[in-house]
């Protein structure tokens, strides 16, 4: 008996220990849900350690979708935002061929060195979240990691900082330095859209509307807590009515002049209701939770609209305007109604005469090509020696033919060529040739203690390397882009001694090839070579053929595996050592993206180059410069009037 009793004691003790462990686990499993149900976990946000917002940002999950109270109201908006992000990411490589180069570093241990193109995404911390009125002036600071350049269109990771109070949100808008930093980051992220947006801001005409939005913002935060208290039913009803009234007014009003009468009384009433709600004893954690939800919703909504606006801007600058498309279609229809007569033999001989001054324009824009030719002949001393070759595609060929047959440009001759019909030697019949226009790349430099600078490099496209085969009888040509305007006589270009070089171009020595050495991989680059610009180029076709520039270019294109900036890399390497530097006074570039260029400087320039996104024929063009382009467009032309081109 003793042995039996003594042997059962350890077993009972082990059983009691197991029961206690199970009870402890059950108790913990009950406490954890209670913490979240009571909202105690919201207190962790102010600790400065790992927060729910930070973890959600790191994982790529939007914060507002994690809150049950905001899920239903924001589900569709979240889907739209995600769809817009995907759409921007899918279309950015097509729309934006930009290269960003950062010379950012610590001043004491790093000097401004050469940028290296690695194309890797950089993490950027996001500034404190702002409220409804401060959202459009959100500021973000960027700090360089290694000073290496970034390719545009790559996703960047961003960590979200803790949200601030409503009072601090309005104070943040007065920080000019923060706004400037936000504009710089905006330009990095969205390109020239932010430049256009900054210069087209309207004066503040919605002060009262913003005040109403802020009051509505606060009332929505307090209402859920007030509605839960039975003793405050009257206050809850008043607050609900005021919220509904404000929502109704703001749904149809965006500026102060459209506000209904007696709006001051509504504002006073809302302020009184909010003051009563603040005086009530409510659960602060619930109010704080609602504030955070509304801040997150407002922040994500502003980000979504910013990305949507940038996408629409990119779409506007990359597509043909409706009026220009109308012009091309009407000209094409008219051509088949009344075809232009065949060219006479004397003009055909001029097209092949190497002793004349030949200009080549690759374009699919009728009006832009016409403005280039018109400006050139109007400033020429001897227009009868000028021959213009407009190379286009099949879609715009007939419109170009009719336009240039019915419009005369003094004594100059204009020939329109369809690149798809050009017969090339050693070209297979099944191989189709397509028109490609000059490519532009945006290069941004950010140096320590110096303002950032942005350059748009325009280089030859694939079509330009067909020049010696298309014009096999010519010895020298001047290649003009369709976004230039000529303001002086260009006959001196034919008398320039190019020292045996192939391409006479204006160089941009703020961008040297050695600074882009990682862009070229194992290819050797000359440290003293500068990047050259298309727009105005004197091309020696004889030396081009002797040195097989086209074959050299095609070989480089085949060797390059990546499609990113392939034209820029191949063009810069192909013409390395083959560029004759023209005087900088020949061309004033940057008029498609730079604001603030002195009007006298523009007026006195020989050639204006509208390189950049904001072309002069677009409504988004910079108005101070587009007037110099519009002078060479006839507003009384019937086709322009019919298509509402003014």
Strand partners, 362: 391
Q: What mean pLDDT comes out for the span 428-439?
A: 75
User: Residues for the chain: how many in total?
Assistant: 646
274 closest CA partner among 301, 239, 244, 308: 239
Q: Per-residue confidence at 182, pLDDT binned at 50, 70, 90?
A: low
491 closest CA partner among 411, 380, 604, 587: 380
Q: What mean pLDDT comes out for the span 42-69?
A: 33
Selection from 11-20, 105-114, 628-637 with the highest mean pLDDT: 628-637
Residue 133, pLDDT > 60, answer no
Backbone angles phi, psi at 125, to 5 degrees: -75, 140
Query: Which sequence spans correspond to the domains of the chain?
Result: 207-318, 322-643
Selection from 159-168, 195-204, 485-494 with the highest mean pLDDT: 485-494
SS3 annotation, 296-360: HHHHHHHHHHHHHHHHHHHHHHHCCCHHHHHHHHHHHHHHHHCCCCCCCHHHHHHHHCCCCEEEE
Angle at 342 between CA 336 and CA 346, to 5 degrees: 155
State residue 81's pLDDT score.
52
Residue 512, pLDDT > 60, answer yes
Q: What mean pLDDT comes out for the span 449-474?
A: 86
- Decide which of 431 and 6 is more confident: 431
152 closest CA partner among 119, 126, 185: 119
Q: What mean pLDDT comes out for the span 331-336?
A: 93
* pTM score of the predicted model: 0.65
Q: What is the per-residue pLDDT across 486-504, written as a single tens digit (0 to 9) for each? A: 999 999 999 999 999 999 9
Residue 67, pLDDT > 50, answer no
Q: What is the per-residue pLDDT across 587-638, written as a single tens digit (0 to 9) for each? A: 999 999 888 899 899 999 999 999 988 999 998 899 899 999 999 998 889 9
369 closest CA partner among 337, 340, 392: 392
* CB atoms closer than 10 angstroms to residue 598: 9
Q: What are the structure tokens assigned to 531, written together?
A: 């990047």
State residue 339's pLDDT score.
77
Torsional class of 596: left (φ above 0), alpha (ψ -120 to 50), beta (otherwise): left
373 closest CA partner among 404, 346, 399: 404
Q: Per-residue confidence at 478, pLDDT binned at 50, 70, 90?
A: very high
Torsional class of 335: left (φ above 0), alpha (ψ -120 to 50), beta (otherwise): alpha
Query: Hey, which CATH number is domain 322-643, 3.90.1150.10, 3.40.50.300, 3.50.50.60, 3.90.550.10?
Result: 3.90.550.10
Asked which of 250-259, 573-582, 615-624 is least confident by mean pLDDT, the reply is 250-259
Residue 195, pLDDT > 50, answer yes
The per-residue b/e assignment along 537-550, b for 16 or more CB within 10 angstroms, e otherwise, is: bbbbbebbbeeebb
Strand partners, 97: none
Strand partners, 388: 359, 414
Q: Per-residue confidence at 425, pLDDT binned at 50, 70, 90?
A: low
Q: What are the structure tokens assigned to 390, written together?
A: 């407009």
Residue 4, pLDDT > 50, answer no
The per-residue b/e assignment along 138-167, b for 16 or more CB within 10 angstroms, e otherwise, is: bbbebebeebbbbbbbeeeeeebeebbebe
Tell me how far CA of residue 58 lies from CA of 54, 62, 162, 186, in angstroms: 6, 10, 14, 21
- Report the sign of the C-alpha dihedral through residues 472, 476, 481, 484, in that order: negative
Residue 457, pLDDT > 80, answer yes
Q: Per-residue confidence at 78, pLDDT binned at 50, 70, 90?
A: low
State residue 355's pLDDT score.
93
Selection from 40-44, 68-72, 196-200, 328-332 with the highest mean pLDDT: 328-332
Placement of tokens 């350059």 in the chain: 455
Placement of tokens 């096999």 in the chain: 472
* CB atoms closer than 10 angstroms to residue 216: 21
- Decide which of 286 and 495 is more confident: 495
Radius of gyration of the CA atoms of the chain, in A:
33
- Decide which of 219 and 44 is more confident: 219
């Amino acid at each position: 008996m003793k042995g039996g009793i003594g042997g059962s004691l350890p077993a009972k003790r082990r059983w009691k220990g197991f029961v206690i462990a199970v009870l402890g686990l059950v108790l913990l499993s009950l406490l954890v849900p209670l913490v979240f149900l009571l909202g105690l976990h919201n207190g962790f946000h102010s600790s400065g350690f790992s927060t729910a917002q930070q973890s959600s940002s790191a994982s790529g999950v939007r914060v507002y979708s994690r809150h049950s109270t905001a899920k239903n109201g924001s589900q569709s908006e979240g889907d739209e935002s995600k769809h817009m992000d995907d759409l921007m990411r899918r279309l950015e490589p097509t729309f934006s061929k930009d290269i960003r180069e950062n010379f950012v570093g610590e001043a004491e241990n790093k000097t401004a060195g050469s940028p290296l193109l690695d194309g890797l995404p950089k993490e950027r911390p996001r500034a404190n979240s702002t409220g409804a009125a401060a959202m459009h002036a959100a500021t973000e600071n960027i700090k360089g990691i290694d000073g290496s350049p970034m390719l545009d269109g790559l996703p960047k990771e961003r960590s979200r900082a803790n949200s601030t109070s409503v009072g601090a949100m309005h104070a943040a808008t007065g920080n000019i330095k923060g706004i400037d930093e936000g504009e710089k980051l905006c330009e990095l992220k969205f390109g020239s859209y932010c430049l256009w947006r900054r210069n087209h801001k309207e004066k503040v005409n919605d002060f009262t509307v913003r005040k109403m939005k802020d009051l509505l913002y606060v009332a929505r935060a307090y209402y859920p807590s007030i509605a839960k208290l039975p003793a405050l039913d009257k206050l809850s009803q008043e607050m609900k009515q005021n919220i509904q009234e404000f929502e109704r007014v703001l749904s149809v009003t965006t500026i102060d002049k459209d506000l209904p009468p007696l709006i001051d009384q509504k504002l006073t009433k809302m302020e009184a209701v909010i003051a009563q709600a603040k005086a009530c004893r409510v659960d602060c954690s619930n109010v704080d939770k609602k504030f955070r939800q509304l801040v997150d919703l407002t922040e994500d909504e502003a980000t979504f609209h910013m990305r949507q606006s940038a996408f629409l801007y990119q779409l506007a600058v990359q597509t043909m305007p409706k009026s220009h498309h109308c012009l091309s279609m009407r000209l094409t229809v008219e051509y088949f109604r009344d075809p232009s007569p065949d060219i006479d033999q004397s003009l055909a001989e001029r097209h092949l005469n190497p002793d004349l001054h030949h200009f080549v324009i690759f374009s699919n824009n009728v009006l832009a090509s016409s403005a280039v030719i018109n400006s050139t002949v109007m400033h020429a001393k001897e227009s009868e020696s000028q021959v213009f070759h407009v190379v286009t595609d099949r879609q715009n060929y007939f419109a170009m033919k009719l336009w240039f047959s019915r419009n005369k440009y003094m004594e100059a001759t204009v020939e329109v060529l369809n690149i798809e019909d050009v017969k090339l030697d050693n070209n297979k019949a099944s191989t189709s040739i397509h028109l490609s226009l000059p490519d532009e790349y945006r290069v941004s430099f950010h140096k320590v203690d110096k303002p950032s600078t942005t350059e748009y490099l325009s280089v030859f496209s694939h079509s330009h390397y067909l020049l010696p085969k298309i014009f096999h009888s010519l010895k020298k040509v001047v290649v003009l882009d369709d976004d230039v305007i000529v303001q002086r006589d260009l006959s001196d270009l034919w008398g320039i001694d190019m020292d045996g070089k192939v391409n006479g171009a204006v160089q941009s020595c703020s961008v040297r090839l050695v600074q882009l050495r990682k862009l070229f991989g194992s290819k050797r680059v000359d440290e003293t070579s500068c990047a050259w610009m298309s727009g105005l180029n004197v091309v020696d076709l004889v030396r081009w053929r002797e040195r097989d520039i086209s074959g050299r270019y095609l070989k480089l294109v085949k060797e390059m595996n990546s499609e990113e900036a392939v034209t820029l890399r191949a063009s810069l390497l192909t013409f390395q050592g083959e560029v004759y530097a023209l005087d900088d006074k020949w061309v004033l570039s940057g008029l498609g993206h730079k604001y603030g260029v002195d009007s006298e400087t523009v007026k006195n320039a020989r050639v204006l180059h509208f390189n950049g996104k904001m072309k002069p024929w677009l409504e988004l063009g910079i108005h101070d410069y587009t007037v110099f382009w519009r002078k060479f467009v006839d507003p009384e032309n019937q086709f322009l009037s019919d298509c509402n081109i003014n």
